[in-house]
Amino acid sequence: MPYPTSRRAFLKFVASSPLFAPLGPAACGTGKDAPVSHILDRLGTVGEPDQDLGELIAAPGAALDVFDFRVTAERALPPAHYGYIATGVDGDATLRANREAFGHLQIRPRRLVDVETIDTATSIMGTRCDTPVVIAPTGSQRAFHPEGELATARAARAKGHLMALSTVTTTSVEDVAEARGEPIWYQLYPTSRWDVTEQLLRRAEAAACQVVVLTVDLPVTSNRLTLSRYIKRDTRDCSQCHATGPSEYGAQNTSFSRKPMFDGTDIRDAEFNTPALTWDFVDRLKNSTRMRVVIKGIVTAEDATRCLERGVDGIIVSNHGGRAEESGRATIQSLPEVVRTVRRRVPVLVDGGIRRGTDIFKAIALGADAVCIGRPYLWGLAAFGQPGVEKVLDILSAELATVMRLAGTRTLAEIGSSSVVTA
Ligand SMILES: Cc1cc2nc3c(=O)[nH]c(=O)nc-3n(C[C@H](O)[C@H](O)[C@H](O)COP(=O)(O)O)c2cc1C
């Protein structure tokens, strides 16, 4: 690929990269040095739905729901960084679908149940948790707050959540594992070079990760137009954080080589687009690690069957938060066929558009063992760092407890298929 030299070419590259990998706040900043003009220039109809929800808040404690953090995060971040969180693909139809589909599920509450005491505890991949909410892997968190993944890990520790760490983390797996204090999950993006994969696996294992999450929904670059639109509004010079690097490297590889997980690894020839990847990679992965293997990005019964045939240990029903293919289909709509296929043989998790306790309740009712959240905790991180993430987690937990009480369900096990109906 020819090397982009001009700012415009560089930004075009960044927008088209599947993994857009900002390195951190050093020069790009996380908002303090950002022009404030973008605040008045909100992009209105692109990105997430519910744009009318949320209010600017001055402290985490002032938040009424997670949307207050979205509004506050948008104001705190430079446009390109906020756009990286906000973006879906093409016309953002899948992003919207992920949210809107929850509106087509209605809750069927039972009355006169003693709900004085409720219990949201569960066991996820052998780990006992007080909550079914898992922190989804998201890249480049230091682009949102100087403490990045460490702030997220500390919040996860304080609130007792499982956390998955992205391959394109801006903090090393060793440091994040230490900050979390309990084993974290390691999310793996495959590359064209197996030795690179192996090095990542060995580091994750040495950092006591017990689960590797293989993301399979981005074999090629997706078309993140909303990100491109935000980048167009960003007038900063981004070259210090976003590598434009030596010419023998591709730009993406240069950017990746500056990520902590690739420290000391020569990734010159590694391809991060892996269109030729097949289920054989899953076999190889299974045979090469002692970690449990979870596949993230499954949305069909057929692929759920393949996962079971391959002996995977868990499935995450996910469309990358509407950032992979523009299917127009919500993950909560994909969940039932996966659940029917899996028949409780391995845990099934789901992510995409979970913003309220009622969304968690509906996912559990449709058979999910747990849910993952992406953007909500990033909004909390961008707005206030660790306290922001903690408050997002608190809000979701409190909302889940409330809907469980109002629906007459005392445990997650009592939330069943009769707890919801399709509108
Ligand atoms: C900014 C951002 C970065 C992400 N980075 C990764 C990543 O590095 N690896 C991955 O498997 N998924 C990544 N995802 C997808 C999330 O893991 C998750 O599937 C998605 O965010 C869930 O949807 P939600 O944001 O609506 O909750 C990312 C999502 C966002 C918003």
Give me 403's structure tokens. 């809907």
Q: Which of 380, 383, 378 is nearest to 394 (CA)?
A: 380
Judge whether residue 40 has pLDDT over 60: no
Lowest mean pLDDT among 9-23, 135-149, 201-215: 9-23
Q: Which 3 state secondary structure label does DSSP give 296?
A: strand
**What is residue 272's predicted lDDT score, i.e. its pLDDT?**
87
CB 353 less than 6 A from any atom of ligand 1: yes
pLDDT band at 364 (very low <50, low <70, confident <90, very high): very high
Q: Whose Cα sits closest to atom 20 in ligand 1?
A: 321
CB 22 less than 6 A from any atom of ligand 1: no
**What is residue 16's predicted lDDT score, i.e. its pLDDT?**
45
Across the range 35-54, mean pLDDT stands at 61
Tell me if 139 sits within 8 A of 252, measured CB to CB: no
Tell me if 114 sits within 8 A of 362, measured CB to CB: no
Token pair 């670059």 is found at: 221
Across the range 356-373, mean pLDDT stands at 98
Judge whether residue 7 has pLDDT over 70: no
Active site residues: 320
Largest CA distance in the chain: 69
Distance CA 194, CA 214 (A): 14
Across the range 191-216, mean pLDDT stands at 96
Distance CA 332, CA 352 (A): 8
pLDDT band at 100 (very low <50, low <70, confident <90, very high): very high
Percent of the chain whose pLDDT exceeds 70: 86
DSSP secondary structure letters along 358-401: HHHHHHHHTT-SEEEESHHHHHHHHHHSHHHHHHHHHHHHHHHH
Tell me if 115 sits within 8 A of 404, measured CB to CB: yes
CB 187 less than 6 A from any atom of ligand 1: yes
Give the nearest ligand 1 atom to 316 CA: 19
Lowest mean pLDDT among 25-39, 281-295, 379-393: 25-39
Tell me if 57 sits within 8 A of 65, measured CB to CB: no
Judge whether residue 6 has pLDDT over 50: no
Across the range 367-374, mean pLDDT stands at 98
Label the pairing between strands 127-129 and 122-124.
antiparallel
**What is residue 54's predicted lDDT score, i.e. its pLDDT?**
97
Please tell me the distance between residue 136's alpha carbon and the centre of ligand 1 in angstroms. 6
Distance CA 167, CA 262 (A): 9
pLDDT band at 210 (very low <50, low <70, confident <90, very high): very high
**What is residue 250's predicted lDDT score, i.e. its pLDDT?**
56
Looking at the DSSP bridge assignments, the partners of residue 212 are: 186, 293
Judge whether residue 363 has pLDDT over 50: yes
Label the pairing between strands 164-165 and 314-317.
unpaired
Percent of the chain whose pLDDT exceeds 90: 79
- Ligand 1 pocket test: which of 66, 102, 138 has the largest number of ligand atoms within 8 Å of its C-beta? 138
pLDDT band at 265 (very low <50, low <70, confident <90, very high): confident
**What is residue 142's predicted lDDT score, i.e. its pLDDT?**
98
Q: Whose Cα sits closest to atom 10 in ligand 1?
A: 137
Please tell me the distance between residue 8's alpha carbon and the centre of ligand 1 in angstroms. 26
Distance CA 211, CA 204 (A): 9
**What is residue 46's predicted lDDT score, i.e. its pLDDT?**
65
Name the region of 139 (left: φ>0; alpha: ψ -120 to 50; beta: rest): beta
Query: Could you read off the pLDDT of 134-160 as tens digits, one per residue?
Result: 999 999 999 999 999 999 999 999 999
Tell me if 393 sits within 8 A of 372, measured CB to CB: no
Judge whether residue 336 has pLDDT over 80: yes
Q: Whose Cα sits closest to atom 28 in ligand 1?
A: 138
